[in-house]
Amino acid sequence: MSEPVMTQKAPYAVDVQAGETYYYCACGRSGNQPFCDGSHQGTGIEPIAFTAEKTETVYLCGCRRSGNKPFCDGTHSRL
């Protein structure tokens, strides 16, 4: 299994729509950050699916080290 790639040392602010399912790039290799584009193939790391509970702005982890993936928990501030 490969290590995830840190794409930025800050969260991604993303507007989501209630009831929609999103696929967070957990490997960090996607060209469509912070969402999966299939670049994880062969890494042993799978995207993380989540369904938005409400229409709002969410903050998705950019460092790939959050303990609450796909959401940012502030871990990037300690790296």
The ranges assigned to domains in the chain are 1-79
pLDDT of 10-59, one tens digit each?
999 999 999 999 999 999 999 999 999 999 999 999 999 999 999 999 99
C-alpha to C-alpha distance for 2 and 10, rounded to whole angstroms: 22
Give the CA angle between residues 63, 2, 41 to the nearest 5°.
Answer: 100
The whole model's pTM is what? 0.94
- Write down the H helix ranges in the chain: none
